[in-house]
Structure 1
Amino acid sequence: MTEAETEFRPHSAHWGAFSAGWRDGRLVVRPHPGDPDPNLILQNFPEALRHQARIARPMVRRGWLERGPGADDRRGRDDYVAVSWDRALELLAGELARVRDAHGPEGVFGGSYGWSSAGRFHHAQSQVHRFLNMTLGGYVRSVNSYSAGASNVILPHVVGPTEDVSRRNVSWEAVAAHSEVVLAFGGMALKNSMVGGGGISRHIERDAMRTAAARGCEFILVGPLRDDMPADAGAEWLSIIPNTDTALMLALAHTLASGGLHDRGFLDRYTLGWEKFEAYLFGRTDGQPKDAAWAAPITGIAAETITALARRLAGRRSLITVAHSLQRAEHGEQPVWMGLVLAAMLGQIGLPGGGYAYALGALAHTGRRQNAVSPAALPQGRNRVGAYIPVARIADMLLNPGGSYEYNGQTLTYPAPKLVYWAGGNPFHHHQDLNRLRRAFRQVETLVVHEIGWTATARHADIVLPVTMTLEREDIGSSQTDPLMVAMHRIAEPYGEARDDYAIFSDLAARLGKAEAFTEGRSAGDWLRHLYAKTEADLITKGLPAPDFDSFWRKGELLLPQAEDDGGILRAFRDDPDGAPLPTRSGRIEIFCETIAGFGYADCPGHPAWLPPTEAPRGEAPLHLIANQPATRLHSQFDYGGHSSGMKRRGREVMRIHPADAAPRGIADGDVVTLRNTRGACLATASVSEDIRPGVVQLPTGAWYDPEDPAEENPLCVHGNPNVLTRDAGTSRLAQGCTGQITTVEVTRFTGNLPPIRAFVPPDLAAAE
């Protein structure tokens, strides 16, 4: 059968809308025809669908099955027993009831990170949270995200909610039409904007930058990696020492203020606290002016380059962007806040294509117009448990239950969950210091995981339930910032005995006497019709064409109306600061924040400040390591897929290193190398490149954790997961965000016998029950 004869069915993923069909027994995936810049991650699907890493049957860890719940240092190196679905669900329902009766719903931590599916219904995070709310009355939850843990806390204090500053602010259309200078701290890498929660039908970022550049807009990339801005932007690259962006911003601010190039009218009318910050900027409070000469040795950028850059920004439609990556580091709140202050000094905030755009380009949904119709979502019910943790503090909670910590002006107590329930996530991808995380997961009494494949998280679980992947079920793909709603048709039958999360939770709810509360009497198909009905009703209310569900399903997609680009709260605030104040304590942009100052945090004072990192290159770890997002997969999803595995070298993740650092270490392109620090070590394959700053190496996250000897306390990861090296510490006492973007390492050429890669090989199975 030719591709033209293949029956293609519509579907959607976080990295793009697409259709898929079968030809000669092989899955064929093709992007949506309306996407001008399709994402190659879609090509992970064919190899991933029936890969050996898939989980085919319910599994129970042998130690848990034989000895029952409890802490166990064999997690991560035990074998598994295949059991029937009835047996697995009987064991799990009994364990949930035991924990509920002995400890209440506070005895359960509901994990899951939300990136498992683009579908509005089969969204594992929503499913597990609804299940725990409806059957147990709640669970210990997490707040914020690994991507934006620091910004989610700092931005509401000083300007407004993250969503308003990132998604409903400066649009790509405005950049293409109006921006004259875009100063991008951390860049705007297309590998990041290729991905968006709920799916994306048109990747527009490359064309917007190309159009702006052709009009004469100047793009300036500040970062240690040249390709954090696409070549289409024609960007000037300012290679900076990692985690020093705040110092550069301060020096730019000093140049503007000392030369009278800042917009005092804007500062007086729209901001609060300039005078206190100015005293710090000019050194009146600490004796150190934050000028270009001061910043040059800190940042690695010449003083004359800094002063010239500041003068290029003044008096033009300048846009300051700050990437997510900058705040995934120690004191990550500071560049987010200081970028806002720099933009305020230039007076462009609220103007089309100017001002401040946090995380523009970090996801496909930033810088786009909002839909005029809200997509429906599965209701999760009410969580009656008040206890929570900042998401990146999970190892702290498991290792220190009952201990205290500070967060956003509060002193809180770590909960003490006995059971951890994880569905739709892999903390062995996104958490830091994996050897510490291994020790933390050994402490829980029971770890339950729903998974499609044998991730490291699944290999640490006591009960492992195989679930369908997105191609094996029906759903509705939609997001608030993409106009295309997709009827996600089933493309393939479930792998082995895999079941949908909803089917598993429905059965468990029935065993716990809560079936009606969880299902509301609806099948999965009934829920799709119920969720779609909200969109249909909204369209009818607006007098717009509203096809019924069956018509939508047959056609495969529905184009939703979009709202006008109104610039959001910052445009409204600029136009009428009294009538449309910002949702801050003062109603203005807070350059000095009395609330934050009142917390008394030395690691996050009342105004932006340069706070040197405690971990810097020295001694046995002389190089910076950038552990950034991968380009070949979403986080760790489908690392075994064709596109992801095809971009590895010698089966391992690729680490980039500058020739000036490779040569004295005897490292040639293609060599396997060891990255090491006091926390751990991993292998990777070297790529020698001038597109990275000297003194810096880069290894993306997402390679499945693969310890050479799981029985060791700090085993070598043979596959290339950089989170064996990263530091598990909060950004500050304010936000407690993750600091996994930057650490320090030494790199050496590996000369021994290469250990095999077993990341995708299922664990040993004991005899079935």
Structure 2
Amino acid sequence: MSTPTTSHWGAFRVRPGAGGALAVEPHPADPSPSPLLGNVAGGLRHRTRVARPAIRRGWLEDGPGPTDRRGRDGYVEVDWDTALDLLAAELDRVRREHGNEAVFGGSYGWASAGRFHHAQSQLHRFLNGFGGYTGSRNSYSLGTSLVLLPHVVGEAEDVLRDASSWPTITEHTELLVAFGGVPAKNLSVTPGGVTRHTAHGHLRRLAERRVPVVLVSPLRADLPADLRAQWLPVVPGTDTALMLGLAHSLVVEDLHDRAFLDGYTTGFDTFRGYLLGHADGVVKDAAWAAGICGVDAAGIRALARRMAAARTLVTVTWSLQRAQHGEQPVWAGIALAALLGQIGLPGGGFGHGYGSMGDVGDHGPKRRLPTLPQGANPVRGFIPVARVADMLLRPGDPYDYDGERRTYPDVRLVYWAGGNPFHHHQDLTRLRAAFGRPDTVVVHEPHWTSTARHADIVLPCTTTLERDDLGGGRRDTHLIAMHRAVDPVGEARDDHAILAALAHRLGFGDTFTEGRTPWQWLRHLYGGWRDELRAEGHDVPDFDAFWAAGDYQLPPGPTHFTLLEDFRAGRTALRTPSGRIELYSETVAGFGYPDCPGHPVWLEPDEWLGGPAAARFPLLLIANQPATRLHSQLDVGATSLAGKRAGREALRLHPADAADRGIADGDVVRVFNDRGACLAGAVLDDGLRRGVVRLPTGAWFDPVEEPGGRLLCVHGNPNVLTADVPSSRLSQGCTGQHALVEVAALTGPPPPVTVHDPPLLERRNP
């Protein structure tokens, strides 16, 4: 008998397999199941599972305090009561001596797709009951866009969650210009899961219609091979220059829609003056753009004419804003679409995130899901999510953010559940130093990840398959009954049980649990959600019938919709100061940030192939999302392991670049710059622009210290190479997509990969 459940990469069922293993079966309604399902079975009982509560030896023997031993120390396994008593006492001490703002509960990560056993929600509910905490805002994936878009179109949600639907695009779009492409590898993933993956089918229909597509990316794999595409392999990080060159051609050839610009935008004359060089004397024409982005000037002018002559959709992936000055390609893409005058028309306009997430363009119902209430945080302070190392290393220092002057808090205790900052964050040498500063680091983890190995108190938590829950994603077609399939591994407990036990020790257990068991919570959350749907006239089964069926198919929503169609039709205004699309924002200009002026501009990044730093490190690393796992989750699974080379993450590089360095396919190579180095397995690929290498994120960090204090990751984590600097003072967003590096064939035997084994453990009696 199979057991239903779901994940961020799709719904599935599990059943007992040969030799006690689990067999994983996709949901029967899924037309395009994710290959990431292949990681599930192998991760469940892997030797890296945290079997018992563990305390770092130095913390247990010497007490809390800053230390350089995190990430280097062994661990002592203890019983649950000992671990919880120690943690409760430490939480109480930090609160009494330093206040609740000294507790950081950002807990950024994906964790379970379940709505009740959602690690961050459980932790934030606990910390709110504890008196509050310093939290984080925005995301590594979208930290730049989430701050910029409200200034330009009024609401980030309008662009990110209401993107024109794939059926609308497949029926009406005549030309798709995709900056960053539409990477199919990301289409299976959505927070909470996707039961029916339909985006691949819509892309096939675009191919069947022979819709012309222009791929603007240094990576040919950023678009499915069967699409009829013109590939423009731009210099990485120069998309904004190309957009400005296209915009200039539209303006000087009178191909722009002046009526749309006058009626629906503000600031066009200022933007036009910038294109024509009125302020700086630099005309942003096609020849200027060609010199920066490496695309032929005649080709830029020809593309501008094609875009003006067709129903054109301009798309920008999220990856482009994960870079220094990442605001600019998003803003410039909106401006380019505005010049064409097609925003709000079916098949035309602007999109942000097609191929970055599975639900962008999805037409599943947009409906609230059952959600655990978190309560209110009495602490008003927060940090932008990608500034965690700055917060830990620079307490009391001021910084700019979205027009505010803020101050980093003095954090003494870091509490992390459901995430792995040693995957998400940049410059891991710096992050390791930052993790040495707090008095105490606490982690809930199923596996001995890098973050667990840098914690003082490690509490083993269950995985999705070891607990009951409710699952569903944004625009999902189903609510899934997530049945517990197996008993917890070792002494693992779910996050709710851990936090409830802590809350009782700290005197607010009844407030945290509200007197409900997890099973009673599931019934309660489902019941309230069911009442909402029944009030709309939908026939929704009671909890017992839903649980027995395994899922409930939600009432469908509309299949065809267009981003900003109501705005174009005059039914709504945007929530910007002008009520229009702001090609020039007086608000942003008023902040006075030189790294993010009041309209789209070309700003040269510190690290790119056209800059002086490339003389020493002549290759541009693209550290994008992996095709073999979600971020770093289940890196020990079969699909993830199959994608490695020589047991390390695969680095793709152009054959000519490899030949210049004496590198053969399959060689173990050293990738390095001044921040650090990693080892990877070489894969030769002529689908990259020369001078570009690709090393996906997510390999579990396996560091060896080198002279000078820099770290070598022997497993291939690219974030030893990326810079921990913000996109701009406006957003303080993540810039982990690009880094200048050099690559060399490794001489001598490579150090072994050890991260797939647990750390040094000893057992002590209570």
TM bucket by the smaller chain?
A: over 0.9
Q: Map 1:334-733 onto structure 2 (within 5 A).
A: 334-369=328-363, 371=365, 373-565=367-559, 567=561, 570-576=564-570, 579-617=571-609, 618-709=614-705, 713-733=709-729
User: Quick check: 1:268 aligned with 2:268?
Assistant: no
TM-score (norm 2): 0.98
Distance 1:715 1:114, change over 3 A: closer
Paired AA for residue 91 in structure 2: L
Measure the CA separation in 2 of the matches of 1:310 and 1:388: 43
Name 1:200's counterpart in structure 2.
Answer: 194
User: Quick check: 1:155 aligned with 2:149?
Assistant: yes
Q: Is the 8 A contact 1:373 1:562 kept in 2?
A: no
User: Quick check: 1:41 aligned with 2:36?
Assistant: yes
Which secondary structure does the structure 1 equivalent of 2:615 belong to? coil
Measure the CA separation in 2 of the matches of 1:72 and 1:15: 38
Q: Is the 8 A contact 2:427 2:724 kept in 1?
A: yes
TM-score (norm 1): 0.97
User: Quick check: 1:99 aligned with 2:99?
Assistant: no
Paired AA for residue 67 in structure 1: D
Which secondary structure does the structure 2 equivalent of 1:486 belong to? strand
Measure the CA separation in 2 of the matches of 1:90 and 1:423: 18
Q: Is the 8 A contact 1:168 1:369 kept in 2?
A: no
Which secondary structure does the structure 1 equivalent of 2:365 belong to? coil
Name 1:326's counterpart in structure 2.
Answer: 320
Which secondary structure does the structure 1 equivalent of 2:414 belong to? strand
Q: Is the 8 A contact 2:191 2:474 kept in 1?
A: no
Name 1:85's counterpart in structure 2.
Answer: 80
Name 2:284's counterpart in structure 1.
Answer: 290
Q: For structure 1, list consecutive stretches of 5 or more residues without a partner in the other structure.
A: 1-6
Which secondary structure does the structure 2 equivalent of 1:740 belong to? coil
Q: Map 1:279-318 onto structure 2 (within 5 A).
A: 279-318=273-312
Which secondary structure does the structure 2 equivalent of 1:666 belong to? coil
Measure the CA separation in 1 of the matches of 2:327 and 2:289: 19
Name 1:4's counterpart in structure 2.
Answer: none
Q: Is the 8 A contact 2:136 2:385 kept in 1?
A: yes
- Candidates 139, 142, 146, aligned match of 2:136: 142
- Candidates 119, 122, 142, aligned match of 2:117: 122
Tell which deviates more after alignment, 208-217 or 520-529.
208-217
Distance 1:710 1:131, change over 3 A: farther
Measure the CA separation in 2 of the matches of 1:735 and 1:544: 42
Measure the CA separation in 2 of the matches of 1:51 and 1:334: 43
Distance 1:373 1:151, change over 3 A: closer
Measure the CA separation in 1 of the matches of 2:702 and 2:708: 13
1:452-477, CA deviations, whole angstroms, 9 ceiling, x for partnerless residues?
A: 10111100100000000111111111
How far apart are 1:241 and its partner, in Å? Answer: 0.3
Q: Is the 8 A contact 1:206 1:232 kept in 2?
A: no
Q: Percent of aligned positions with the same letter in both sequences? A: 57
1:371-419, CA deviations, whole angstroms, 9 ceiling, x for partnerless residues?
A: 2542111000010101110000000010000000011111100011110
Paired AA for residue 589 in structure 1: I
Q: Is the 8 A contact 2:116 2:469 kept in 1?
A: yes
Which secondary structure does the structure 2 equivalent of 1:314 belong to? helix
Measure the CA separation in 2 of the matches of 1:709 and 1:468: 32
Measure the CA separation in 2 of the matches of 1:483 and 1:767: 47
Name 1:742's counterpart in structure 2.
Answer: 738
How far apart are 1:205 and its partner, in Å? Answer: 1.4
Paired AA for residue 228 in structure 1: D
Tell which deviates more after alignment, 200-209 or 548-557.
200-209
Q: Is the 8 A contact 2:346 2:562 kept in 1?
A: no
Measure the CA separation in 2 of the matches of 1:450 and 1:366: 31
1:601-635, CA deviations, whole angstroms, 9 ceiling, x for partnerless residues?
A: 11000110000112234232111000000010000
Measure the CA separation in 2 of the matches of 1:713 and 1:470: 38
How far apart are 1:288 and its partner, in Å? Answer: 1.0
Name 1:73's counterpart in structure 2.
Answer: 68
Tell which deviates more after alignment, 536-545 or 497-506.
536-545
Q: Is the 8 A contact 1:119 1:476 kept in 2?
A: yes
Paired AA for residue 656 in structure 1: R
Measure the CA separation in 1 of the matches of 2:560 and 2:568: 12
Measure the CA separation in 1 of the matches of 2:562 and 2:696: 34
Paired AA for residue 173 in structure 1: P
The alignment's C-alpha RMSD in Å is: 1.2
Paired AA for residue 658 in structure 1: H
Paired AA for residue 139 in structure 2: S
How far apart are 1:675 and its partner, in Å? Answer: 0.4
Measure the CA separation in 2 of the matches of 1:431 and 1:112: 13
Paired AA for residue 495 in structure 1: V
Measure the CA separation in 2 of the matches of 1:190 and 1:718: 29
- Candidates 9, 13, 17, aligned match of 1:19: 13
Measure the CA separation in 2 of the matches of 1:47 and 1:15: 16
How far apart are 1:214 and its partner, in Å? Answer: 1.8
Which secondary structure does the structure 1 equivalent of 2:704 belong to? coil
1:663-712, CA deviations, whole angstroms, 9 ceiling, x for partnerless residues?
A: 01000100010000000000000001101110000000000000124997
- Candidates 101, 109, 114, aligned match of 2:104: 109
How far apart are 1:46 and its partner, in Å? Answer: 1.1
Q: Is the 8 A contact 1:222 1:239 kept in 2?
A: yes
How far apart are 1:203 and its partner, in Å? Answer: 1.3
Which secondary structure does the structure 2 equivalent of 1:457 belong to? helix
Tell which deviates more after alignment, 325-334 or 579-588.
579-588
1:183-222, CA deviations, whole angstroms, 9 ceiling, x for partnerless residues?
A: 1101111111210001101111121122123223211110
1:467-501, CA deviations, whole angstroms, 9 ceiling, x for partnerless residues?
A: 00111111111123011111011111101000000
Measure the CA separation in 2 of the matches of 1:292 and 1:710: 46
Q: Is the 8 A contact 1:322 1:339 kept in 2?
A: yes
Which secondary structure does the structure 2 equivalent of 1:232 belong to? coil
Name 1:3's counterpart in structure 2.
Answer: none
Measure the CA separation in 1 of the matches of 2:71 and 2:426: 17
Q: Is the 8 A contact 2:76 2:764 kept in 1?
A: yes
Q: How many residues align?
A: 760
Distance 1:96 1:448, change over 3 A: same
Which secondary structure does the structure 1 equivalent of 2:677 belong to? strand
1:153-205, CA deviations, whole angstroms, 9 ceiling, x for partnerless residues?
A: 00000013222102213111111111111111011111112100011011111
Distance 1:568 1:521, change over 3 A: farther
